[in-house]
Structure formats: structure tokens, C-alpha cells
Amino acid sequence: MYIQQLYTGCLSEAAYYIESDGKAAIIDPLRDIEEYLVLAKERKATIQYIFETHFHADFVSGHLDLAQASGAPIVFGPETETSFPIYKAKDGEIFKLGSVTIEVLHTPGHTVESSCFLLREANGDPYAIFTGDTLFVGDVGRPDLSSGNLSQEDLAALLYDSLQKKIAPLPDHIILYPAHGPGSSCGKNLGPDTISTLGEERKTNYALKASSREEFIKAVTDGLNTPPQYFSVNARINKEGYESLDEVMENAMKPLSIEAFKKLIADDDTICLDTRVSSEFVDGFIPGSINIGLDGRFAEWAGSLLPFDKPFVLVTEPGKEKESVVRLARVGFAQMSGYLEGGFANWKEAGEPIDLIVNIEADEFAMDLPFDIKLKVVDVRRETEFADGHVAGARNIPLETLTDPGAMAEFEDSDNIYVHCAGGYRSTIAASLFKRQGIHNLHNIIGGWDAIKKLDGIDIVKENSVLN
């Protein structure tokens, strides 16, 4: 038996490759399936099953493309309804994989169709469980994302029963393989590891320590942030189907001359997305561009901020075109019309108009703060980050809300705006969004809050009502 976790850090997502006697199964594949096909080929194995734990909300699964490429069936658990052919397994149904078996455990709660897959050794002993979004390291799946007319309290109650009836009876030594790790928005506060054991989770996971259904429901529903806007889009795509990644790539991987590029961005509906790192973007970019750098949680922020119904053109670091397209496609973006051939350097050398963002050191911001009556501090960290300490008088506009209607309505170009996040990645995105809205008198604070909080003389405020 061979198991490999295939972890994608920018999405905090784990897919799994399981193999026994030349037969393989893939659990929760990403949309770009080449890694699974190559791994099976290298190990001289045949992909026999594609298991899906549920309809994922935070990425587009590769189940359709992988089924087409491998001929393997797509297996979901009970209560699953799709617009494409699947094998709908029964609760307790057993699938033979070489000399081992995989048992379906229907565990509704995160969603109604959520299921875990229990891997048993050749002698029948339980060895590992693939829990999807039912149980994480240190957390459980949030119960507020989908599932028809059920409330989050209804789903949390189902999740409690699933954990008590299906997971709790299993032995401590079983290895826990969840679908997500730290940073995922599919739970409230996942632990730092991507693998655990049931015994360890019984000791440390708050959700498994609840003494009653009521206590559990309160624990898992309190403090839930609003899910990212793209979650509902991705869940629908995974349920209804999508065009193949090859088709998306064919349209997106078109090199565009400067003239062709200019014609496309002349349409106000077309978004120019610049995926270069922030340090390069601030020094010069095509006016109106939105920067989301590949060096951060790129796909997550693209899905949270950008519309799915408008066309894109890309500006990338040369050689990063394919990576940009694939990572956008992972969260459901398909309307990409090509990329600027030669990147921004080509645009600049041609003498085309450029814009820039002024970076400012934190200590210079501290000197300006007491004297500039037009100065407005915009903190784009999340509400809980802001509450844990911020500059007195700062406006908190979490980055994920900055594209909401009216989010920038209070600002005028005559305002002297200083924008920051924790370290600089999010604030550069925010600055590009302000620029796109015609607000240009702004400064991006280098190092963000991490640098500001170390300075003397800054009036720092905490919002204890939010933290408690």
C-alpha cells in the first residue's frame, strides 16, 4: 500500500493518491490533473477510482477531466445530485483497491452529501481515514456554506451526529487525512499540520470535546466569517460541470501584441490582471491594472475580488503565463483572452502610458501622521486583525470587501490616503483597486502593520468588544 498527500499551499488543499497492487485511487483532485496521471504512470499503476468527499466550494475539482483521461468512475457518497454521470455510493459500501478496501462513511454536516473514506488494510483493520471537510486538524468543516433549506444550526447538528456515530467509534491510531490545512476558509481556525491521528484530535480538537449537541452547535457556529464570494460559484461548478482545462488553456495562452492588448482593455468590461510580485508592480504598471501577485494566496484573492462573468487579459512575469492561467482556472475563471506578449517590459519600452504606486516606509508615515489633516489611514486587514491592534482613527476596510458597491465612496482624490495590511501583499492589491477607481493620491506602507506596531509614538487602539 502506498499513500501520497498532494498538497497545494496557496489553496491549503490536499488531494490524495492511494495505491495497492498496481491499482490507484485519487481523492479530491484539483482541476489540473497532470500530476496524478504522471504519478500513476511513474508507479506503473492504473487509476481505478476518483473519490470526491463533497462538492468543494473553494476550488474546482478535476473529477471530470480526470475521469475523461483515465476512464475511472467518479464516486460520490449518498445524497449527491449532479448534472453529469457519477457512481453514487451507499453508506457503508466497500470498494476493493488491490489488496486493500475503501469504505464509504456518509458524514453529512459540512454539506449534506459529505462523506469520509475509511481505508482498511488487507486483513480488514482500519488504517487511515480521508475526512474531506468533515474533520480537520484542530477544527471541523463550517456548516454554513450550502445544502438547500437547512440552516447552519441544522447542518451543525448533522455534523455532530456524523462525528459521534461514524468517527468516534474508530480507534485512536487511525491516520487522519483531511482535505485542507492551515489558512483554509472552509473552517474557522485549522491547525498548523495537514496530517494527524484520531487520538490526537480527541485530545486537542475543540469540536470533538463538546459534551452535548447544543454545545457543539454553538462552538462551530460562533465566530464564522462571511465565506468568500467565489465559494458558491465553485460549488455550483463542481455540481453542474465545466469545460475542460485544455479548452480554457487554449483561449488563455494566446500571446497578444501591444495593439491587440490595447484593443481588448479599451473595453471597460475587460479586466487587466497583473500577476507580478508587488515589489515589481508598484514601480510601474499598465493604468487600470489590478495586481494580485502569484507569490501569495493568489487564486483565493482572485476568486474573492474579481467577477466571474467578465473577460480577462493577463500581464505576467515572462514564463509565468501558464502558472497564472492554471491557478485562476482552479477557482473557476474561464474567460481569459490572452496575455501581453513580452510582459510589462515590452509595454514600457514601447512608450505606452504607465502608472505607479508610491511606497513609503513606516517611520515616514509616523512623521506625517500628526500634521496632515487630509491624511486617511486605510487598514485592509480582516476585522479580527484590526481589532487586535490598529492605528487610532484608521478606517478598517477588509480587502475582501473593497470591491463591494460603495466601499470607496467616502474617499476623494484630494484625500491623502495611506493604505496598509499586515505585511504588504494585501495592501498592494488594495492600492491597485483604489487606482482603478480613479483615486490616485495614495501611499502603500512598506511592511504594513508588522512595521508600524514597532514604532514609538503611534497611538494604537484595540477593539476588545470584537475580540471577546
pLDDT of residue 437: 93
Q: Is residue 250 part of a domain?
A: yes
Q: Is residue 409 part of a domain?
A: yes
Q: Identify whether residues 206 and 253 lie together within a single domain.
A: no
Report the 10 Å Cβ neighbour count for 246: 9
Which three-class secondary structure state does DSSP give residue 67? helix
Mean pLDDT (10-residue bins), the chain, 468 residues = 96 97 98 97 98 97 97 97 97 98 97 97 98 97 83 95 96 98 92 97 93 95 89 95 94 97 95 97 97 96 96 97 97 96 98 97 92 87 95 96 93 91 97 95 96 92 72
pLDDT of residue 466: 61
Q: Among the three residues 185, 212, 232, which one is the final residue of a domain in this structure?
A: 232
Bridge partners of 360, per DSSP, are 445
Q: Is residue 284 part of a domain?
A: yes
* E runs forming strands in 246-392: 255-256, 271-274, 290-291, 312-315, 336-340, 358-360, 375-379, 390-391
pLDDT of residue 225: 84
pLDDT of residue 5: 98
Q: Identify whether residues 264 and 147 lie together within a single domain.
A: no
Return all residues near 217 (Cβ < 8 A) that are at least 6 apart.
Answer: 153, 156, 157, 160
Q: Identify whether residues 316 and 437 lie together within a single domain.
A: no
Q: Identify whether residues 190 and 283 lie together within a single domain.
A: no
Q: Identify whether residues 106 and 215 lie together within a single domain.
A: yes
Q: How many domains does the chain have?
A: 3
CATH number of the structural domain spanning residue 294: 3.40.250.10
Q: Is residue 237 part of a domain?
A: no
Report the 10 Å Cβ neighbour count for 384: 13
Q: Is residue 238 part of a domain?
A: no
Q: Identify whether residues 261 and 300 lie together within a single domain.
A: yes
Q: Identify whether residues 210 and 273 lie together within a single domain.
A: no
pLDDT of residue 457: 85
Q: Identify whether residues 60 and 189 lie together within a single domain.
A: yes
pLDDT of residue 147: 61
Residues spanned by the domain of 259: 243-349
Cell of 157: 447538528
Q: Identify whether residues 217 and 97 lie together within a single domain.
A: yes
Among residues 60, 141, 68, 65, the alpha carbon closest in space to that of 108 is found at: 141
CATH number of the structural domain spanning residue 147: 3.60.15.10
Q: Is residue 391 part of a domain?
A: yes
Q: Among the three residues 329, 349, 369, which one is the final residue of a domain in this structure?
A: 349
Q: Identify whether residues 24 and 166 lie together within a single domain.
A: yes
Q: Is residue 117 part of a domain?
A: yes
pLDDT of residue 468: 54
Q: Identify whether residues 311 and 376 lie together within a single domain.
A: no
Q: Is residue 404 part of a domain?
A: yes
pLDDT of residue 463: 84
Q: Identify whether residues 179 and 286 lie together within a single domain.
A: no
Q: Among the three residues 287, 317, 349, which one is the final residue of a domain in this structure?
A: 349
